[in-house]
Amino acid sequence: MPRGESEPQDPNSPGAQLRKLREEAGFSVTEFAKLIERAKSGVSEVERGKRTPSQQMVRAYEKVLLLEKGSLVDLYEQALHNAPRRISESKQSSLDFPGDVINSLLVASGLNEEDRRTVGFQIIETVLQVIKERQNPQA
């Protein structure tokens, strides 16, 4: 595929829907990325379905596009559900963002949403503890 062309994408995919909302609001990728304080490449990868949006990114779309809080939760859940399929289809042996791996593992685990959130928060607490220990090795 020639450089600069976007790959064909299911118009009902979460990324395509986020892109449609952004475009309908009249924002370019560059403008929108600045508004939500993200890298242009990150926004583009999410909208092309190459990366799973974080919950914070989905909330940023809601905020900037003046959508009701929580109105894009279904898109976020759909993106998480699609993540394991994307990983298995990927030719890469690793992912660009560790959160994609965590989300994929949690979704693939078969845990219900509440248990996935609980485990997710436990992971965050563990990561924060490791960071704290490495910043203060004498503590």
Residue 85 covered by a domain: yes
Residue 74 covered by a domain: yes
> CA nearest 66: which of 99, 27, 11, 92?
27
Residue 100 covered by a domain: no
Report the mean per-residue pLDDT for the chain: 77
Q: Which range has the worst mean pLDDT, 8-22, 49-63, 96-110?
A: 96-110
Geometric angle at alpha carbon 40, from 23 and 50, rounded to 5°: 85
- The answer to whether residue 44 scores a pLDDT higher than 50 is yes
Task: Report the residue count for the chain.
Answer: 139
Q: What is the CATH number of the domain that holds 25?
A: 1.10.260.40
**pLDDT value at residue 24:** 93
Query: At 64, which helix (H) or strand (E)?
Result: helix 55-64
Phi, psi of 61 (to 5 degrees): -60, -45
Q: What range defines the domain where residue 43 resides?
A: 14-90
Cα-Cα-Cα-Cα dihedral sign, residues 38, 42, 43, 46: negative
**pLDDT value at residue 94:** 43
**pLDDT value at residue 59:** 87
Conformation bin of residue 115: beta by default, left when phi > 0, alpha when psi is -120 to 50? alpha
Percent of the chain topping pLDDT 90: 19
Rounded Cα distance, 53 and 46, in Å: 6
Q: Which range has the worst mean pLDDT, 21-30, 66-75, 86-95?
A: 86-95
Q: What is the pLDDT of residues 123-139, one digit of tens each?
A: 878 887 888 888 887 75
Domain count, the chain: 1
Residue 80 covered by a domain: yes
Rounded Cα distance, 46 and 34, in Å: 15
